Structure formats: structure tokens, C-alpha cells
Chains A and B, each alone.
Chain A
Amino acid sequence: MKLLLVTSVDPWVRSVASVHRLVAAGRVLRHEIFVYGEPNAQLPNLPFTTDLAGFDCAVFIMQVAWDLPDMPHLARLLDGIPRERRIAIDMWGRFNDTIRLEHDFNHLEKLDGHAGWEWEEAFQAISDTILQPTLAPLRPQGRSFLFHGYDQASLTAPRRTAREAAAAWASKDYGAAYVGSNWQRWEQVRRFLEAYAPLRDKAGTVCLAGWDWNARPDWAVKMGLMGIDTDPALLARLAVEVRDGVRFDEVVGLLSRARFAPIFHRPLFRHLGLVTNRTFETFLADSLPVLMLPRDFVAAIYGEAALALVPGNDIAAHLDDALSRPETYWDAVLQTRSHLAKHHSYAQRLRELEALAKDSAKAEGAR
């Protein structure tokens, strides 16, 4: 399959890591996968092209409006690749009615200039095949395709047994590390930090890596946007090490320096059951994931063994127990990794995508 990925790739944000892994998996499976655009010196491992010849399918990976390329490229793409060979992936739940949850949202005109109906029309303009990285899309037209995946070959420190993993885990630079920007996650992060506080001396410092954890950004204040909150006093009291975002290829390395690596999904994503790159990538780190996620979601995505990694309401007790009995938790991690490798590999994603591309072409042909 010759696949063209259309999206804006940035080494610091969004789905760049998953794009890399998909491309790498494609090489192994002898698919040809390119990213639309001019070569990017910051991303030397991605093959870029603007030559549209011979592609079986163009996959528009949509998160923000500028994932659509500027003119003249957009016209070349939409005119040059027939509709039946185009697929749209709605990564952030835009192809839904407008949703407001806590302070989170899927459409906000004052932020990006686009109302909900504009997103809806744009998706429908790109393709009839609209995929969403959730197991249960809300709309009948949306189809499930998780896009992100788990790349067993990228494990930082493969462990054969839970004992081996637990032994290597005894000494870490940080007690816990989270990589992600301050966007609609503060309440969950705060809850984690407060629960973690009594364990700090025993487990180690917390590292928060991402944009805007130090202070509520001016632009959010000016726009009256809530959900990008923080509490510098709390962070100082807990001696949390706050640092800016890290490049996509440094995330797993940083997480591996911590005993615990919590996974938070923003309220909108929890509601829609959307997965992210970090949903899977965190399991590549040599760290114990703490799944701050709904249990039914965890069971469905990660498998039953991963339920042991969900702290439930008593986060402190969960972390303390993990410190006391790390092998039990590492056993759950190793089982979960096996589950992810079996069900959520990028090879699996490519098989799914190939089938969806064929369906799309067939459906359009039938019309």
C-alpha cells in the first residue's frame, strides 16, 4: 500500500511520534508511507513528498485546522486525489455535536475561528470515511480506528520477568513523571499530586514536562479560557520539577527516569473514549504506568491485567502498595505490554487502515 499522510508535524506536539511509528512499521511491512510536505530538517526520519502520483490512499490526520496544508497544496490534494482514495481521521472528536465538559470542549470559535458545523462540513468535504480513535464513535458516520499504537520494538528496557523489572526499578531520578501540556488536565494532575505528596520523600520528586505548568498563560487569561489552570504554590510546596515540553523522541526516555508515569486523558477524551499517543507510548517507558482512566476504558484498550494499574479513588494507597510490592504491578505491566503488542501494534493499525481504505474505495464505487 502506498499511503500519504496529510497533517502538520511538529517535533514537540500532537501526533508526531505516532506518525513516526506508523512510517517505521510501514517500512518493515513494505508499505510506502509518506508525509505530505517539504522535507523537515527537524524530522529527518520522515519521508516527505508533494508528488501525488501513485498513492492508494491519502489519510488526513486532523487535530487542528492547520493540519490542512496551505494553498496551493490543499487544492492539489483535493483535486489530485479522488474522494474514494481519501480518508479523514478526526483525532480530537471534532466530528461530533459541540460538547462541553468541565472546561473542556471540542469546538470553540473564539479559540480557532471555527464553529462546530465548519468542522463537520470540512470532514465531509475530505471524505465519506471519517475515522475516530475511539472504540465507540458517537455518530453513525464515524468509524473506529485508534490510529495510535504500541511499538514493542521501541521498548526502552525490555524485561523478561516482573522480578527483573522490579529490581531495575528500585532506583530512579524521579518518583513520578508526566509529559504533556497543561491543557484541560489540571484537575486530574492536582488530584494526583495531592495524593502523591505524603509519598514524596519515599518515592522521589515529581517531574512535570510540558507547556504552561508554571503559570496560567496570559493568552488563556485574555481569552477567558478555563481549564488551563495551575497552582504554582502547590507545585512549589511539593517541590515539583516543572520543565518545558520535550521533543517527541525524548518522551519515553524521560518517563523511564521515573518510578511512576501517570496517564491522564482530558475530560473530552475520557467522554469520547479517545486514545492518544501517550495512551500507548507510556508503556514503552521503564516506568510503572498509573492509569488515571475509567476502568471500562482500561479493560477495553489495555486488557484485564491493566486494571491492576488503575488506582481508583485512593491514589496514595495504590502508589504506596506499588512501592511495597512492585513485582505485582510489573507483572500487570508485562501482561499489558503483551496485550498491546498483540492487539495494538502499528502493523495491526496498518492492516486496519488498508481494510478501511479498500472499504472506502468500494463504497464510493458502489455510489
Chain B
Amino acid sequence: MNVLVVMKHRGDAGNTHAVANYMRLAPKHGHKVAVFGTPIWYVPELQFSMDVRRFDRVVYVFESDPYRIKPLNEAVILDRFPRDKRLIMDTDGMYNPVVTVDGYDFNHRNEAERAHWIARLDALGGRIMQTTIAAPIDPRVGVMTFYGYNPELQLHPSKAPPKQFDILHLGHNWWRWREVSREILPALEEIRDEVGRIAFIGLWWDAPPPEGPAAGPEEAFELDPERLRRLRIETPKAVLYNDVIRTMSTARINIMTQRPVLRRLKHLTLKYFEIFCADTIPLLMLDADHAEAVYGPAGRELSLPGSVANKLLDALRRPDRYREVVAEVRRHLVSHYSYDRRVQELFAVLQN
């Protein structure tokens, strides 16, 4: 089966990386995956196609941006793939009631915006799947993990780059600031003199997007660069998806955060898995139960909330202990979240 993926593809975004894994593994199962569009020169391994007739199914991967391809192309895709040959991956929980977390992060700003989204996804039809580990709120929605763990990408310590940072956070400043400023920065303040270099790598850690409101809600990019500077936190520029694991491996510890609304909806993201491919100790801003639900019992030990400062110092001081925990989590991921399994799930859903 040939599957065409329609998505906003960006070299520095997680979903692109996930789809790249499907592309890589699909031929092993007799399938093919390509993204609708034209090749991007800096990610030559991503396969693109605009020859819609060569595909049997279409998968729309939606984030929180109502991405739309050009109308002429859209007509061709809609005609080629009837509703029963379309699958919608709702990766940012848009096909839900309005969910607002602490008056801050939200999936929809209001009911009108939600209605527009629902109408759009309903019109596209097909099946709607959410990348959550929780039961979907809407009974019409199915669940599909979508993201996976690829042990082949795991970077062996002997091949890892030299450690430059003690602590790294890799991810964009998109609905992260409240958690970072209330929980992570106070902990770093507490232990700053006992820790070496710290970096936050990603977009918008130095300034909000230059596009202004067109980039998204202002609150999503909240930031206090001066506070980061005082804490001697470096903010290098974002890296491409194919450099994420290597970049994470330049730090002894990587902190994983997730935007609040997705954490509330228990949505998975690619970061959940790629952080365990890096030669680093992942520490998770997930409560222990949530961490266990994804990573197995060992995941509890990597949970940060409530003891951020202590755990960061503990991991720096007892790396071998934490490496054992990480190895245990990786075993869990291999048996439960391999992309091989993901690819089979996807094609099973598409075949049905």
C-alpha cells in the first residue's frame, strides 16, 4: 500500500521525524510512505511526491495549525481518496471539547474556533485518531500511538559527541514558559553553582517569533530572556530533526517538558521517545504515574515534578544508577513502542 501523508513538514519539528521513520520502515512491510510536496534540499532522506495517483491512502497529520495545502491540490487529493481512504491523525488534541489548562494553554481559544476545527475534520471524514494514551474524550475518535522508539537511532556512548552541557532542554518555547519559569528555573537557581553549562535549544528562547500574532497566541511564546541570562542559560538556535538525538547527546542530562494541554490530554509526542535514543539521562516533567504509563515502572524514577533540584543533582552525581534506569526504560520502549509495531498498526488501520 502506498500512503501519502499531508502535513506541515518542517525540518525542525517532531512529526516530520516520526513520518521519516514510517518512510524508512514501510518498505520492510511491503508499503511506501511519502509526504505530499516537493523535496526539501536539507533533508534529502524525506520522500516527497505530488503524484497523487500513485497512492492508495492519505493520512492527514494535523497539529494545532489549520494547515491547508493549495486548493487545486486539495481537490485532487479529495477526489483521489474517498472518505474511507482518508485517515486523520490529530496530534494536538484539536478534535476535543475546549480544554484550557490553568487559564493558560488551550487546544482552542473558544467555542467558535473549536467549531471551525471540528467542521473541518468532520468534512474530511475518514477515521480520526489521536496520539494519546488516555481514552479519547470524543467517542468517534480512535487511539493510535503514532510515535515510536527506534533503537537503531540509539546513540552508543562510544559514538556520542563530547559532553558540552550538564543540563539541556531541547524543544521550542511553545507553551513551555509557565512550567519552565515556575518549576525548572527556581530549581536551577537553587543549584546553579553546582552545575556546569546549561542550554535551552529550540525556537523562541531568545525572542518571540518575528511574525508576531500570525505565529500563534502571544502567551504561547511568553519569555523572560533576562532571567535566562542571569542563570547563565545558553540559547543556541534550533536544530533539524535529524540532529536532535546527537544534540541531546551533548548533555549529561536532558529535561523533557510538554505543553500543558497535551500533557493534560495525555498525548504522546515524538520527544517522549527520541530523548531515550540520545546518550543522556532523560529527566521528565511528568508525574510519576504518567511516566510509568508510558515508560513502565522504571519511568517513575525519572519523574521530576516535586523534586527538580534534588533529582538533577542526584543524576549528575550518580550517573551510573540513572543509566541503569534508562536502560530499563529503553527495554520497555523496544518491546512496546517500536516503529515496526507502529508501522504495522498504521497499515492495519488503513487496510480496515
Chain A contacts to B: CB under 8 angstroms: 65-66, 68-76, 78-79, 83, 113-114, 118-119, 121-122, 125-126
Contacts and interface: CB of A to CB of B under 8 A. Distances in A.
B73 A68 contact: no
Contacts of B124: 71-72, 75
B75 A125 contact: yes
A74 B75 CA distance: 7
B349 interface: no
Contacts of B123: 71-73, 75-76, 79
Given A65-B71, A68-B71, A70-B71, A125 B76 contact: yes
Contacts of A71: 66, 68, 74, 120, 123-124
B125 A79 contact: yes
Given A75-B124, A76-B123, A122 B68 contact: no
A114 B70 contact: yes
Contacts of A70: 68, 71
B111 interface: no
Contacts of A118: 70, 72-73, 76
A113 B75 CA distance: 15
A225 to B, nearest CB: 20
- Chain A CB within 10 Å, residue with most, of B71, B78, B122, B125: B71
Contacts of B80: 125
Interface string B77-90: 01110110000000
Contact of B78 (A66, A78, A114, A119): A78
B52 interface: yes
B74 A74 contact: yes
Given A71-B74, A74-B74, A118-B72, A125 B120 contact: no
Main secondary structure of the interface of B (DSSP, over half): helix
B119 interface: yes
Contacts, number: 64
A119 B72 contact: yes
Contact of A126 (B70, B75, B120): B75
A125 B79 CA distance: 5
28 contacts: A65-B71, A68-B72, A68-B74, A68-B75, A70-B68, A70-B71, A71-B68, A71-B74, A71-B120, A72-B122, A74-B71, A74-B75, A75-B123, A75-B124, A75-B125, A79-B83, A79-B125, A114-B70, A114-B72, A118-B73, A118-B76, A121-B72, A122-B75, A122-B76, A125-B75, A125-B80, A126-B75, A126-B79
A228 B321 CA distance: 72
Given A71-B68, A71-B120, 20 more contacts: A69-B71, A71-B123, A71-B124, A72-B119, A72-B122, A72-B123, A75-B78, A75-B123, A76-B123, A78-B78, A79-B82, A113-B70, A114-B72, A118-B70, A119-B72, A122-B71, A122-B72, A125-B78, A125-B79, A126-B79
A360 to B, nearest CB: 15
Interface string B243-258: 0000000000000000
Nearest to B122: A72
Contacts of B74: 68, 71, 74
Nearest to A113: B70
A66 B70 CA distance: 9
B64 to A, nearest CB: 16
B68 A78 contact: no
Contacts of B72: 65, 68, 114, 118-119, 121-122
A121 B74 CA distance: 11
B36 to A, nearest CB: 12
A125 B74 CA distance: 10
Contact of A66 (B71, B82, B122): B71
Interface string B119-133: 110111100000000
Nearest to B53: A121
Interface in B104-153: 119-120, 122-125
A75 B78 CA distance: 7
B168 to A, nearest CB: 39
Contacts of A65: 70-72
Nearest first, the 5 A-B pairs at minimum CB distance are A72-B123, A125-B79, A122-B72, A75-B123, A68-B71
A333 B227 CA distance: 80
A113 B82 CA distance: 26
Interface string B54-75: 0000000000001010111111
B242 to A, nearest CB: 28
A88 to B, nearest CB: 10
